[in-house]
Amino acid sequence: MNTKLHINQIDNYKKNFGISFRSSTIFYFKKSKTFNTIVNFMDYWKIKKSINVMIIASLRDLQGKLIFRERVSFDKGPVINYTPKIEEDSFEGSLEMEAIANDDLGIPYAAMLVLYEVGKSITMVHGYTRTYSPHEIEEKKVIEFGEEAGLVCRDTDDVRSFIIGHNGISIKEEQLAKLWVSNIKGETIEKEIKIKQLNPFETFKIYPRDHIDNLIKFLDGKDGNVAISYKLSGGFTRTVVGNETLDGTEFQVYHSNFNYGKHDPGYMDKKEIGYYSFPFSSQHEKQTTHVDSFCAEGKYEIYSNENVIKFSSGFRKNIPMEGEVLSVKRIDGDFPKRLNIVLSAFLKGSKCKLPMESARGFYHSERPPKYRMWMSAGLGKKYRSKLIIHALTDLYGPVGDSILTLKLYRDTTFEVVEKKISSKELKKYEDGIYVDEIFPDQANKFENEICQIWGESSTYGGLQAYTTIENIYGSASIEHNY
């Protein structure tokens, strides 16, 4: 649908987004007897940049019509867990969250996370898309041509996959989009689908099985991958994707990623090696890395412990994980700066049909050190969360004598609780430690408390963290740090 667009990762690393007085995100929102939506975030703008922001929440229906708008304040603590109060017993649409400041926020993407409580399952994903500000559109700092991939479709008689997107601030005329599905055999089906005219802020849902004939037979009981090519008007093209059981008891989400078979990822020297840190835990099972068939063209070798896995664009791979680290190199040309994967796992002994999943990618030598990170976690009685921390030693070397300070932020108090972790203690976090064991005096005070954990490393810039959220039914979700 469009010529290849170069996605400049250096601009992302350098935060070259122009003037950002507004930081925002849009989430899919649903309310019913068995479906609840919670947005969780902290006042990181004040912590990082000493900037006060005004938070505005705008609830819209599926057609994009504004239902109400209200201000949300950090009046009880530096963390907010927000669910709009509406009279309707059943509602579906979108929830836009905006942070407005009188100074440059640096990044126009709001670091917020949404949790969906659905039936017997729990799932979460960080902010995946946003509407553009008029000055961004005028300066052409936008991506409105959607070339998105990353959905691991698990369609069976009991499960269906989905894509959910949101239009931007202006009308998008009716269009013909393209949908691709690949299976484990390396076969790909391409289908042209019609997307009706989209109103400003309209939410649309696409179920691949509605457009791909005999999708279940095509997948043959194995996972597949889905990509989509489409356009928006005044909005970023990232979508929320996932799978759900048809009986409504399970629902799992994560976000899509750019299809670098269509977009240009930029390239590095052919000798470059990429690294990926999987949240491998003895408390999880069926731990898998899904390498997307829709990626930059090339032939690759992926290394897992002593195993060498051959991978080529157009052919998806499921890699059973035996440890934390995967490395990758391209064997027929320059190395792409972006190579995306999805990770999945189950809690040990879980009877769930759907795994926890998260969209990730490989790191390389151009990634700058990162000394601060923060993440969501369950601290109440309803959910438990593991904190998993890895040191990316392949890129950044040993941790040395660096100290990691963890700070606990909550929505009921401005008190900040700190815990310092030495490099020796950090090893214990590789397998995951429950947050209620890290902060036992603050845990289990409320039925459902979602907190934020801020991590700051004294000298080491190569830490990567994940948190899970887990319920009593064996359902879990996992997300990486900001």
Contact 406, 421 (CB under 8 A): yes
Contact 49, 106 (CB under 8 A): yes
Which residue is it, tokens 């599905």? 181
- Residue 210: half-sphere exposure toward Cβ, Cα within 13 Å: 8
pLDDT of residue 137: 87
Length in residues, the chain: 482
Helix (H) or strand (E) segment spanning residue 435? helix 435-438
Mean pLDDT of the chain: 95
Q: Is 102 exposed, middle or buried (0-12, 13-18, 19+ CB in 10 A)?
A: exposed
Query: What would the two tokens of residue 77 be?
Result: 């603590």
CA dihedral 268, 357, 261, 258 (to 10 degrees): -80
Classify 372-480 by CATH class.
mainly beta
**What is this structure's pTM?**
0.95
pLDDT in tens, 276-316: 999 999 999 999 999 999 999 999 999 998 899 999 999 99
Using CA atoms, how far apart are residues 372 and 390, in angstroms rounded to an integer? 14
Q: What is the mean pLDDT of residues 202-225?
A: 97
> Please, which residues bridge with residue 109 across strands?
24
Q: How confident is the model at residue 14 (pLDDT cuts 50, 70, 90)?
A: low
Collapsed DSSP state (helix, strand, coil) of residue 262 = coil
**Percent of the chain scored above 70 by pLDDT?**
96
Contact 104, 191 (CB under 8 A): no
Does residue 327 carry a pLDDT above 50?
A: yes
Residues 6+ apart with CB under 8 A from 39: 27, 57, 80, 81, 82, 83, 95, 97, 112, 113, 114, 115
Collapsed DSSP state (helix, strand, coil) of residue 286 = strand
Query: Is the fold of 138-258 the same as that of 267-361?
Result: no
Q: How confident is the model at residue 341 (pLDDT cuts 50, 70, 90)?
A: very high
pLDDT in tens, 424-481: 999 999 999 999 999 999 999 999 999 999 999 999 999 999 999 999 999 999 999 9
pLDDT of residue 1: 42
Contact 267, 337 (CB under 8 A): yes
Classify 138-258 by CATH class.
mainly beta
pLDDT in tens, 31-55: 999 999 999 999 999 999 999 999 9
Helix (H) or strand (E) segment spanning residue 137? helix 134-138
Q: How confident is the model at residue 141 (pLDDT cuts 50, 70, 90)?
A: confident
Give the domain 267-361 fold: Jelly Rolls (2.60.120)
Query: Domain ranges in the chain?
Result: 18-125, 138-258, 267-361, 372-480
Which CATH number is 18-125's, of 3.30.70, 2.50.20, 2.60.290, 1.10.287?
Answer: 2.60.290
